[in-house]
Amino acid sequence: DGGITQSPKYLFRKEGQNVTLSCEQNLNHDAMYWYRQDPGQGLRLIYYSQIVNDFQKGDIAEGYSVSREKKESFPLTVTSAQKNPTAFYLCASSNPGQNYGYTFGSGTRLTVV
């Protein structure tokens, strides 16, 4: 079955470390997205990519970086510049303009220790 796989499910980071969250999809979707979820704030867009080798900043891109070298993959790096990285991170994919259907992964919970 097609879907989105996020790994790991739980991730712990020490202060000053960079960590990378994985997101892989086999839906042949062109666009991929990273959202951050904090209690009471809904989901906020970090970065998105509509085609391979291209990506754009979302609303809260500071302290994050991404790459889109393959259509299937859109990894997110949380850098040491992100001052408050503890959150739940969700990856999604879609084919813009085609039913606007988004498919979400099951998320990665990142905790700074």
Partner 1 sequence: AQSVTQPDIHITVSEGASLELRCNYSYGATPYLFWYVQSPGQGLQLLLKYFSGDTLVQGIKGFEAEFKRSQSSFNLRKPSVHWSDAAEYFCAVVLRSNDYKLSFGAGTTVTVRA
CA distance 36 to 108: 10
CA distance 59 to 62: 9
Nearer Cβ to partner 1, position 85 or 105?
A: 105
**Nearest distance from C-beta of residue 76 to partner 1, angstroms:** 15
CA distance 68 to 52: 5
As beta bridge partners, residue 65 has 77
* Interface contacts to partner 1, rule CB under 8 A: 4, 31, 33, 35, 40-45, 48, 50, 56, 58, 88, 90, 92, 94, 96-97, 100-102, 104-107, 109
**Nearest distance from C-beta of residue 1 to partner 1, angstroms:** 14
